[in-house]
């Protein structure tokens, strides 16, 4: 079972396969593994102690960043994400980033977003510049409130750490999102936008 995997000079943390979205571009639809991992499908969700043991066994040589991003939405296990980040920071000085759909307040309304100030960076999937297109891209199980919840999360986290938005340039993506409109929205919130390449 793969908890940590590497792609180029980044190490990724895979702690859940759960996700409330079913994005049209999701890499899980194209294969079982990424980077040096043959499969990222977990046999079970690893406990905190299990994650710590797996981290201690990693070779961190040449790793420039550690990223919470696997075959699920990391914030499905928000408290574990923070606990693991604290453990990593007590072990090394490598920057830690969270990749998220930004829907944690719908996933776990009790989670205190301020705990994410431990992250060096948070990358949020913007996916579109309006709620209708966002829902068509993400197919969020949380329904019509998802887009606004994601934007609120972005505004809150922006006060805590470095934040960026992402959109994925997948085939026929122009049917779902407009780059200029997404940039205008990101600019209005003072958050950088990164265009991600589609992974097959």
Per-residue pLDDT reduced to its tens digit, 113-134: 999 999 999 999 999 999 999 9
Q: Which two tokens stand for residue 196?
A: 């991600």
Instruction: Enter the tokens of residue 181.
Output: 């409109």
pLDDT at 96: 98
β-pairing verdict for 121-125 and 96-100: parallel
113 C-beta neighbours (distance < 10 Å), count: 16
Q: Which two tokens stand for residue 191?
A: 């958050």
Do the Cβ atoms of 65 and 89 come closer than 8 Å? no
- Assign 3-state DSSP to the chain and report helix, strand, coil percentages, each to 5: 40, 20, 45
* Predicted confidence (pLDDT) per residue in 135-170, tens digit: 999 999 999 999 999 999 999 999 999 999 999 998
pLDDT value of position 128: 97
pLDDT score, position 35: 72
Record the pTM. Answer: 0.95
How far apart CA 155 and CA 149 sit, in angstroms, is 10
């Amino acid at each position: 079972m793969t908890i940590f995997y590497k792609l180029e000079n980044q190490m990724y943390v895979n702690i859940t396969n759960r996700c409330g979205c079913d994005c049209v571009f999701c890499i899980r639809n194209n294969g079982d593994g990424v980077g040096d991992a043959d499969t990222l499908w977990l046999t079970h969700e690893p406990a905190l102690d299990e994650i710590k043991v797996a981290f201690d066994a990693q070779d961190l040589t040449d790793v420039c960043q550690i990223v919470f991003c696997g075959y699920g939405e990391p914030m499905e296990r928000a408290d574990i994400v923070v606990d693991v980040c604290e453990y990593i920071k007590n072990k090394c000085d490598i920057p830690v980033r969270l990749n998220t759909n930004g829907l944690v307040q719908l996933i776990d309304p009790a989670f205190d977003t301020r705990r994410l100030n431990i992250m060096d960076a948070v990358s949020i999937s913007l996916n579109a510049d309006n709620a209708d297109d966002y829902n068509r891209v993400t197919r969020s199980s949380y329904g019509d409130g998802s887009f606004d919840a994601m934007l609120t999360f972005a505004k809150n986290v922006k006060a805590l750490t470095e934040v960026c938005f992402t959109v994925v340039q997948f085939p026929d993506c122009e049917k779902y999102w407009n780059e200029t409109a997404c940039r205008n929205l990101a600019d209005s919130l003072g958050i950088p936008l990164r265009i991600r390449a589609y992974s097959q």
